Amino acid sequence: MRVHNSRHRFLARCVVPMVAVAAAAVAATPATAADSAAWTVRGPSPAPPVSASVTLDSDGALSLAVTHRGRSVLTPSAVGVETTAADLTKGLTFIRREDRVVVQNYVMTTGKQRVRHARSAESTLSFAGPSGARMDLVVRVSDDGVAFRYVLPDAEGVTVKREASSYTLPSGAPAWLLPYTPNYEATRVETTAGAAGAGDFGFPALFAVDDTYVLLTESDVDGRYSGGRLTHQAGTGSYAVKLADAAVASPGPLATPWRTAIVGDLATVTTSTLVDDLAPASKLADTSWVRPGTVAWSWLSEHDSPRDPVRQKQYVDFAARNGWSYILIDEGWDRSWVPDVVRYARARGVEVLLWFHWTALDTAQERDDTLSLVKSWGVAGVKVDFMDSDSQARFKWYDDILRKTAELRLMVNFHGATIPRGIQRTWPHVMTLEAIRGAEQFRTRAATNTMFPFTRNVVGGMDYTPVAFVVSDRDTTDAHEVATFLVYESGWQHAADKPENYDSRPEALRTLNQLPTTWDETRLLGGRPGQEVYLARRSGQRWYVGGISAVPAKTFETPLTFLGKGRWLVETLHDGPDGLVREARIADAHDSLTVPVATNGGFVSVICEYTKGRSTCDQPVRRVPRTDLVVTPGQAQTRPGGTIDVRGTFTLPTGDPISDVELRVTPPAGWRVSGEAVSDKHLRAGESISGAWTVTADAAAAPGYVDVPVVATYRFADDPQRRPVHVEEAVRVFVPPPNPTGTAYVSDLPFLSESNGWGPVERDGSNGETNAGDGGAISIGGSTYAKGIGTHAPSEITVWLGGACTRLQAEVGIDDEVTESGSVAFQVIGDGRPLADTGIIRSADGARTLDVEVSGVRTVALRVTDGGDGKNFDHADWADARVTCA
């Protein structure tokens, strides 16, 4: 790439990253004073459908307008930026114009189109303000829209106070708008550009100007800036960009995000990849570990299930039977049992995803410790929730967690999040984002559902959590629910209902098992926002056609001209008079697909190449062979630097042979293993391989329990995913701390394990809320205590006594910080045996004294139950908890 000066070297290096094919720069074309008042930028096609016009008026103020096929769609509207050092919205003088064509070829891991080819024309218009401050307005035009950004080249840094960026549409233009909230979960409304109320609206915002549609949004937002939104002046068609922060600071030169208008007919807008085209290239050199897929998710249909490892294993079994790739364990999981569920799942070909509140990962130390820990368990990805902000600080946090998860090869789903702004191109391990009023709102409306493919889902993966038959407050049919899985694009599709509800609708489940979650090609076949939408998507050699409707019953018909040569088998699932109906027919590219669509209904068609005798497009789902891995010993104890001997035997009891079998120990960080992995090219039914190893503990091993995994990996024939199966069992090794001596407060002892019903367990403070240290002093019945443990039922803390102590004493009760009465029971468990139980204690009961004999006890667990009536307000204190020891 040729560049013309140092300022534009910055632009080329930092603003316009190329993939595969670099952009070619052309010579600068300085304008004279006579022609410096207006400039036009046209797309690179021979007959470009879209063009942008920039005007500098007599006051030195800039405006930008957009036309589509010669007709105005965005009339001249102010552009510019104001910093703390200069007002670059007026008094500008033109310096030069530079043009180039930007060509990009790149590959996505998710989305509506896997392989991307993008071509656009770009003009950089350079201006100086009254004080000499410089600003470049960079305008990029492609066949599907216009984008512009500002480049402020001040090497000393810059602080942006506001943008003048705005858009003006005909006041009568139909509009589909989202009242702004930072989680983008408000109900989208249908109105007009002028009739919309005054206030803020979230991106993306869709308008129709006659038969041309305009989708306004932004691209390439990260921690160098803050997110934007639109603010509307009532009674006008004008919308201005408003930043989340009052000031956005950059330590050096700044290139702002792209202000983006996707422009064209409805099909062009719906299938546009412009937001990704404008984003920085992928930061990952290797994406082989990034795997989209279907996720079994329990929280929506049964909120308490993420606390139940037995129920989570049932979801694993369901996913394994149906070839689904993942389960998501949402809020409520506990580190005491998650590793076991992960091992159970992986042995069955299912990977586990874990939910986190973002505040559990908001510091570098938390991200290093927590994410590294769950990765060591074998977790494949994380769902991070409740960010609820478009501030620059929050985007810096996104940058940080994306770098760390990429380093650890953990895939990501952002919930309670902002919208995609090209993030899935730059960070290909981002599988999906919420930013949608999804099924978890428990109020499903067909009219709203049919807006999403034309608005929110245009800009990136959308975690709607589809196919929720469990939602009773819905006006959609069962076929509509199934079709959302296809019509909505998301790299991870979190199927939102319970196994029993899917099993009771076998035709729906059969269809879901055949649907991919990423696509090679997407075409809009028909529809209008708020009414209906029909899409064709291709994955490999197969086509999938689906639609959802919010209109009265009708027959949908579409030509099948997109099919290749030959004959095709078309299997269609739709609503029938007595439930879901599946029909099959043979067709070719000269035929049409005709489907009855019920009121607020939908359908899904799976289309595969027809061969003689073929009666279904169903492909076998991935089912992993049953194997056995036995590890001895099951439990062990060693001091730091000590050793244990480990043996493992891996067996294929029955079935077809497996291949590339390997058995090895994968020691924890800092631990060492002596002995080689054992392997076998093939293992037949009834055959085994065995290994023996000596494992040496880290000389600096912290007290507590450590899992030493023994892992078997293998491949099996006809695996559609062609990846190794991971089978793991672990030796549970206990590293004891020093025995306590004298009178020791429990809050000063190391915790061997801990779990808590809300937030972290607190030492010498009350439970508070979700952050460590956010409680107050421990207070029960008006008495305060300097020492103790603050918990929230259900909770359990285990500490080591080593047989050296004789008594455990504490004052226990509900903390005074709760606003309503709680109810709990305190229990003391010694080496697995019950030693004490207070029975139910309520807030009004004040403190109760515990005095428990613990002679000879090695480990003691302090447990709190919720009293049988739920955990609300169950802030339970172990005040002055102490042990008397030799």
> What are 777's two structure tokens?
């002093």
* Token pair in block for residue 251: 């330590």
Would you say 519 and 530 are in contact if contact means Cβ atoms under 8 Å apart? no
**Cα separation of 621 and 322, whole Å?**
6
3-class secondary-structure state, position 483:
helix
385 is known as an active-site residue: yes
Distance CA 42, CA 53 (A): 9
Instruction: Write down the catalytic residue from 222, 351, 390, 440.
Output: 440
Give the pair of three-digit tokens for residue 398.
């996104």
The answer to whether residues 513 and 482 touch, using CB atoms and an 8 Å cutoff, is: no
For residue 298, the SS3 value is coil
First to last CA, the chain: 76
Nearest to 824 by CA among 857, 779, 767, 869: 869
Please pick, among 143, 218, 385, 811, the residue that the annotation labels catalytic. 385
3-state secondary structure 191-216: EECCCCCCEEEEEEEEEEECCEEEEE
SS3 string, 20-35, reads: CCCCEECCCCCCCHHH
The CB density around residue 884, as the number of other CB atoms within 10 Å, is 14
Handedness of CA 818, 824, 827, 832 (dihedral sign): negative
Q: Catalytic site residue 609? A: no
Both structure tokens of 266: 């409805």
**What length does the chain have?**
886
How far is it, in rounded angstroms, from Cα 18 to Cα 27?
A: 19
Q: Which residue has the tokens 């240290």?
A: 773
Under 8 Å between Cβ of 532 and 551: yes
**Cα–Cα distance measured from residue 515 to residue 493, given in angstroms and rounded to the nearest whole number:** 10
Q: What is the dihedral of CA 662, 667, 670, 673, to 10 degrees?
A: -70
Distances in whole angstroms, Cα of residue 436 to Cα of each of 157, 328, 464, 549: 36, 19, 6, 19
Let me know: does 575 contact 601? Beta carbons within 8 Å: yes
Single-letter amino acid, residue 850? L
Sign of CA dihedral 624, 626, 632, 633: positive
Q: Residue 398 in contact with residue 429, Cβ under 8 Å?
A: no
Q: Under a CB-based contact definition with an 8 Å cutoff, are residues 798 and 762 in contact?
A: no
Q: How far apart are CA 224 and CA 255, in angstroms?
A: 9
- The one-letter code for the residue type at 258 is W
Residues 6 or more apart whose CB falls under 8 angstroms from that of 475 comprise 444, 445, 446, 600
| Pick from 774, 862, 768: nearest CA to 824 | 862
Question: How far is the C-alpha of 351 from the C-alpha of 328, rounded, in Å?
Answer: 9
Structure tokens at 548: 């959802």
Catalytic residues: 385, 440
